[in-house]
Chain A
Amino acid sequence: MSNSVFSVISRFVEEYRSSTPNKLKMIDAYLLYILLTGVFQFLYCVLVGTFPFNSFLSGFISCVGSFILAVCLRIQINPQNKRDFLTVSPERAFADFLFAHTVLHLVVVNFVG
């Protein structure tokens, strides 16, 4: 059982390393970074306490929002999805990504207190 799981995972990793374009790998690294940041924030809240609660919420929402926006960017840039996004060029996706981040950070900084 565990053998098949292990083989699936190694196959997946191999596939990933070979066929994923570099740009996407960079975005994946960024996604990992965002994820870890969110996890560590949540860990602090669980261990130490929710004071101040608004700061925790804003930080956590920032991580979640950034993750989602990065995922959207990854989907739109991926050449394999080109047929789904005929009107959206990679540059346009990036510009949308930047604009959405501006709005997100405005709200996050307002709430962090």
Chain B
Amino acid sequence: MAHLCLFSLLVLSLVLETQALTPTHHLTTTDVARLQAVLSQPFTDLKSAYYSVVGLSKLGIFVADADETCRFINSNLDPSSVESLFYAAEASQALSGCEIPVTNDTRDLLLATVSEDSTASQIHQSVSALSALGLPLASQEVVSALKARISKEDNVLAIILALQTASRLSQQAELGEILEEIEDLAARLDDLGGVYLQFEEGLEATALFVSAAYSLSDHVDMEPPLKEDQVIQLVNSIFSKKSWDSLSEAFSVASAAASLSNNRFHVPVIVSAQGPAAVSHSHPFLQLQVTDVLCQPLSSASVLVESASAVASKSAILSQAPFTLRDGVFELNFMASQPASGYYQFSVAITGDSRFVANHVELKVKVSTRVAINNMDLSVVDKDQSIGPKTTRVEYPTKAKASFMADSHQNFAMTFQLVDETTGVELTPHQTFVRLHNQKTGQEVVFVAEPDSKNLYKFELDTAERKTEFDSISGTYALYLMVGDATLENPILWNVADVVLKFLDEEAPGTIQAKTLYVPKPEIQHLFREPEKKPPTVVSNAFTALVLSPFLLLLILWFKLGANISNFTLSPSTILFHIGHAAMLGLMYVYWTHLNMFQTLKYLAIIGSLTFLAGNRMLAQKAVKRIAAEQSSRLAKYRSLR
């Protein structure tokens, strides 16, 4: 079980180590200068004097006229205020030869402030003032007061001030519990994207925490419980802001930078390439600046390339090659290993001090070279290959003397090689274009020249096949070769020759129009649906008459059969029925011409019900008559039979 634990821990640490962070944000020399400028502003009161003087002293700079500042401090000192005493005492300690007069009252005031009833800030100020003024203090009392204050005021700033205070106390005091607060505070930091680590209270709190944690750790000589990645994330957070809102913020950044560049445990290393990380034959040295967070060069460091491999082929070029220090810059002659042009992945290690943090850096280095064109051969080949090709060799940068003629029966061909100027190794740059430019019309056609398996570039122009690109415009075209790549120092634009292309004249457009893509297009005329062809009116009328003619026939037949209206009784129901029926027929006609279904149904309901009632009455009467007639006829028949 224990072995398994150990093994997994080992694996985990290895994994973590290979994925170690490197600072993404750091102060450059201009940023440090700006920080100094902010802190060097003329001070208006004691507080700003404290920030300026102490801040600058942390950056290793001393105020110009110390006496003037000392006088200023003394004149602005308010001996009855602990805060004022704190600022004055700290500032005067940073200045050389500046004394603050101390009275017994001052001392008593400061000692009285050290109690559980004062805030952590007050305790911090009084303890700092006492130690700066060289007055004795009882460390154990301070420790107990601090512990009480920490439990009462649980905010981040109070605990940071407690840490700062503890670093001023005697080493014999029991600072163990206060030391544990560093770990608790570290747990409160917010991890932003794995890159930043900061308090939600802001940059100032984070920076003050760093300086307090390291000053206390240095004081008790115990490594702070901060992992390397956490230290780097803190560096990113603190040094990501390059202009500071207030003097106190600038002061906090300066103290953090000072503590990170000079403490006993963790010193983050900043590695940056001087200029672009590129080497070439003219600039064979890869130069690196290796500094601490305050941009001060680490002279005790030794820089080593652990491995350098080509990005494309993953083949290793260098292994364990040291950098040499020259004028504060570490350099390595990479071209001495004769790398081919391209990109290389460098893994650099900075050793020399066990305190170094983020001392493994990955760099991408570009090796540039100059390209030369060899064996540029131009030829015109007949398609049926009955006539052998004539090749003309052209040397860069001259132009071929004679122009080449190619019509639809011939192909124009071009072959060349691209090599590294110094080593003669074949190159395949990203851009190898052949451009044909018609000087008369301004037309330009660009083709790509492709390398074959032996890295020999070939370009063939089939006149007949490519006539659409040229719009079949015959004429003299200037042929250019364009070669370019990120790793080439000398991109090439070379007018190789003139080519006269002949296309079939019938296909050439009459006027050469510039390819206009953004002109209004021709208007589309909408074609509406044609109405169907109707037959002539004569035919329609004739057939209408024909269709209506059987009605006449019907009337004639009925007349012949003896239809009559002799039985027509003029009872109201009969009349009403006939009127209603006629009205319904009329309604049908009106429906055809004017109405819709709903209106018709409405009228039909009214007329129909009337007609129905009248008709019902009428038919009932008829039925009665009929039955009576039948009965009487039956009776007559019966009687006649008897």
> Taking beta carbons and an 8 Å cutoff, which residues of A are in contact with B?
22, 25-26, 29-30, 32-34, 36-37, 40-41, 43-44, 48-49, 51, 89-92, 94-95, 98, 102, 105-106, 109-110, 112
Distance between Cα atoms of A74 and B519 in the complex (Å): 78
Distance between Cα atoms of A30 and B557 in the complex (Å): 9
Please, could you name 23 A-B residue pairs with CB atoms under 8 Å apart, sorted by A? A26-B558, A26-B561, A26-B563, A29-B557, A30-B554, A32-B553, A32-B557, A33-B551, A33-B554, A34-B550, A36-B549, A37-B551, A43-B543, A44-B543, A49-B535, A51-B532, A51-B534, A91-B620, A95-B616, A102-B608, A109-B588, A109-B591, A110-B597
| A37 → chain B closest CB, angstroms | 5
| B590 → chain A closest CB, angstroms | 10
Name which residue of chain B comes closest to A29, CB basis: B557
Q: Which chain A positions have C-beta within 8 A of B616?
A: 95
B581, A106: Cβ atoms closer than 8 Å: no
B606 within 8 A of A: no
Assuming the contacts A91-B623, A109-B591, A112-B592, asked whether A33 and B561 have C-beta atoms less than 8 A apart, the reply is no
Name which residue of chain A comes closest to B547, CB basis: A40
Of the residues A48, A95, A102, contact of B543 by C-beta under 8 Å: A48
Assuming the contacts A25-B561, A26-B563, A33-B551, asked whether A89 and B623 have C-beta atoms less than 8 A apart, the reply is yes
B622 within 8 A of A: yes
Q: Which chain A positions have C-beta within 8 A of B533?
A: 51
| B291 → chain A closest CB, angstroms | 95
Indicate with 1 or 0, residue by residue over B519-553, a CB within 8 angstroms of chain A CB atoms: 00000000000001111000110010011011101
B539, A48: Cβ atoms closer than 8 Å: yes
> Taking beta carbons and an 8 Å cutoff, which residues of B are in contact with A?
532-535, 539-540, 543, 546-547, 549-551, 553-554, 557-558, 561-563, 581, 584, 588, 591-592, 597, 600, 604, 608, 615-616, 619-620, 622-623, 626
Q: A95-B616, A106-B604 are in contact. List 8 more A-B contacts (CB 8 A).
A: A26-B558, A33-B551, A37-B550, A37-B551, A90-B626, A91-B623, A94-B619, A98-B615
| A77 → chain B closest CB, angstroms | 12
B619, A102: Cβ atoms closer than 8 Å: no
Assuming the contacts A95-B616, A112-B592, asked whether A29 and B597 have C-beta atoms less than 8 A apart, the reply is no
A106, B588: Cβ atoms closer than 8 Å: yes
| A93 → chain B closest CB, angstroms | 10
Q: Which chain A positions have C-beta within 8 A of B608?
A: 102
B558, A29: Cβ atoms closer than 8 Å: yes
Assuming the contacts A29-B557, A91-B623, asked whether A102 and B584 have C-beta atoms less than 8 A apart, the reply is yes
| B637 → chain A closest CB, angstroms | 15
Name which residue of chain A comes closest to B531, CB basis: A51
B553, A33: Cβ atoms closer than 8 Å: yes
Distance between Cα atoms of A94 and B618 in the complex (Å): 12
Q: Which chain A positions have C-beta within 8 A of B619?
A: 91-92, 94-95
B604, A102: Cβ atoms closer than 8 Å: yes
Dominant SS at the A interface? Answer: helix
A36, B535: Cβ atoms closer than 8 Å: no
B561, A22: Cβ atoms closer than 8 Å: yes
A22, B547: Cβ atoms closer than 8 Å: no
A40, B557: Cβ atoms closer than 8 Å: no
B547, A37: Cβ atoms closer than 8 Å: yes
| A24 → chain B closest CB, angstroms | 10
Distance between Cα atoms of A37 and B550 in the complex (Å): 6
| B602 → chain A closest CB, angstroms | 13
Distance between Cα atoms of A29 and B561 in the complex (Å): 9
Q: Which chain A positions have C-beta within 8 A of B549?
A: 36, 40
Q: Which chain B positions have C-beta within 8 A of A112?
A: 592
| A95 → chain B closest CB, angstroms | 6
Assuming the contacts A26-B561, A105-B588, A110-B597, asked whether A91 and B622 have C-beta atoms less than 8 A apart, the reply is yes
Distance between Cα atoms of A33 and B549 in the complex (Å): 9
Assuming the contacts A89-B623, A90-B626, asked whether A109 and B615 have C-beta atoms less than 8 A apart, the reply is no
Distance between Cα atoms of A102 and B605 in the complex (Å): 11
Distance between Cα atoms of A25 and B553 in the complex (Å): 14
Return the 3 tightest CB-CB contacts between A and B, nearest first.
Answer: A36-B550, A91-B619, A33-B554
Q: Which chain B positions have C-beta within 8 A of A48?
A: 535, 539-540, 543
Q: Which chain A positions have C-beta within 8 A of B591?
A: 106, 109-110
Distance between Cα atoms of A94 and B557 in the complex (Å): 21
Q: Which chain A positions have C-beta within 8 A of B592?
A: 109, 112
B547, A98: Cβ atoms closer than 8 Å: no
Distance between Cα atoms of A91 and B625 in the complex (Å): 11
Q: Which chain A positions have C-beta within 8 A of B620?
A: 91
Q: Which chain A positions have C-beta within 8 A of B550?
A: 32-34, 36-37, 40
Interface centre among B534, B550, B604, B622 (most CB of A within 10 A): B550
| B497 → chain A closest CB, angstroms | 72
Distance between Cα atoms of A33 and B556 in the complex (Å): 11
Interface centre among A25, A29, A105, A110 (most CB of B within 10 A): A29
Distance between Cα atoms of A95 and B577 in the complex (Å): 11
Name which residue of chain B comes closest to A94, CB basis: B619
Distance between Cα atoms of A106 and B534 in the complex (Å): 27
Name which residue of chain B comes closest to A91, CB basis: B619
Q: Which chain A positions have C-beta within 8 A of B557?
A: 29, 32-33
Name which residue of chain B comes closest to A39, CB basis: B550
Distance between Cα atoms of A74 and B547 in the complex (Å): 24
Distance between Cα atoms of A33 and B588 in the complex (Å): 21
Distance between Cα atoms of A91 and B558 in the complex (Å): 20
| B560 → chain A closest CB, angstroms | 9
A32, B554: Cβ atoms closer than 8 Å: yes
Name which residue of chain B comes closest to A92, CB basis: B619
| A99 → chain B closest CB, angstroms | 8
| A106 → chain B closest CB, angstroms | 7
B561, A40: Cβ atoms closer than 8 Å: no
Q: Which chain A positions have C-beta within 8 A of B551?
A: 33, 37
Interface centre among B547, B608, B622 (most CB of A within 10 A): B547
Q: Which chain A positions have C-beta within 8 A of B561?
A: 22, 25-26, 29
Distance between Cα atoms of A51 and B608 in the complex (Å): 34
Distance between Cα atoms of A36 and B619 in the complex (Å): 30
Q: Which chain A positions have C-beta within 8 A of B626?
A: 90-91
Distance between Cα atoms of A39 and B16 in the complex (Å): 100
| B583 → chain A closest CB, angstroms | 12
Name which residue of chain B comes closest to A41, CB basis: B547
Q: Which chain B positions have C-beta within 8 A of A40?
A: 543, 546-547, 549-550
| B631 → chain A closest CB, angstroms | 14
| A29 → chain B closest CB, angstroms | 4
Distance between Cα atoms of A44 and B539 in the complex (Å): 9
Distance between Cα atoms of A89 and B604 in the complex (Å): 26
Q: Which chain B positions have C-beta within 8 A of A98?
A: 581, 615
Q: Which chain B positions have C-beta within 8 A of A25?
A: 561
| B451 → chain A closest CB, angstroms | 71
Q: Which chain B positions have C-beta within 8 A of A37?
A: 547, 550-551
